[in-house]
Amino acid sequence: MSAQMIFFLILGTIVIACSVLVLILRKISHRIAAMAFAFMAIAGLYFLLRAEFIGIIQIMVYVGAVSILFVFGMMLTDHRSAGFGPERSRLHKVVSFAGVGALLGAILYGVLQADFAPNDNPYVGTPEAIGLELYGNYLIAFIGVGVLLLAALTGAVVLARKEAE
């Protein structure tokens, strides 16, 4: 067994365990921490696939921004009084578990039966190539997206101020 396979199994186990913890933990702060660890392990899987750019984006956007967004949401709301819905019956849990197991089995069967063609050029999406495309051919679109996001942020602030008054 190669070192890459060992790291894949470790990171995959971390992703699955943290994802399950997000579902079963009671405290929202513990759920956010488990979610951040799952996102970080997914970034590690991207690095194993030699998709460094996607891995860095995963860390910056999901581990950084989304996790911080959830932390701020947790701090700014009264999450102690919020419930997660009624407690489900044992039959509902068993049927849900069987459905997820069947879906997992179908996905594994499909992946194992698929005949993937080998890729002759494994380094297509290097950070250098993505940067040249983004800031070369698509510079106007990139700037337009930035202006659009700024307009959306300004609109959200204006709407929030009107509600506060």
Give the CA radius of gyration of the chain. Answer: 21
In this prediction, residue 143 carries a pLDDT of 92
Same domain, 72 and 140: no
In this prediction, residue 84 carries a pLDDT of 61
pLDDT(124) > 80: no
Confirm whether 130 is domain-assigned.
Answer: yes
Task: Return the higher-pLDDT residue of 68 and 14.
Answer: 14
- What is the model's pTM? 0.63
In this prediction, residue 14 carries a pLDDT of 95
In this prediction, residue 79 carries a pLDDT of 65
Domains in the chain, number: 2
Confirm whether 112 is domain-assigned.
Answer: no
CA–CA distance, 104 with 14 (Å, rounded to integer)? 18
pLDDT(76) > 90: no
Most confident of the ranges 4-13, 62-71, 111-120, 125-134: 4-13
pLDDT(125) > 70: no
CATH at 60: 1.20.120.1200
In this prediction, residue 72 carries a pLDDT of 79
Q: What is the mean pLDDT of residues 126-142?
A: 83
Q: What is the mean pLDDT of residues 69-90?
A: 73
pLDDT(93) > 60: yes
Confirm whether 156 is domain-assigned.
Answer: yes
How far, in Å, are 60, 133, 162, 165 from residue 129 at the CA level? 19, 6, 45, 49
| Domain end point (choices 80, 111, 142) | 80
Mean of pLDDT over the chain: 85
Residues, the chain, total? 165
How far, in Å, are 85, 101, 111, 156 from residue 58 at the CA level? 31, 28, 24, 25
Range of the domain at 74: 1-80
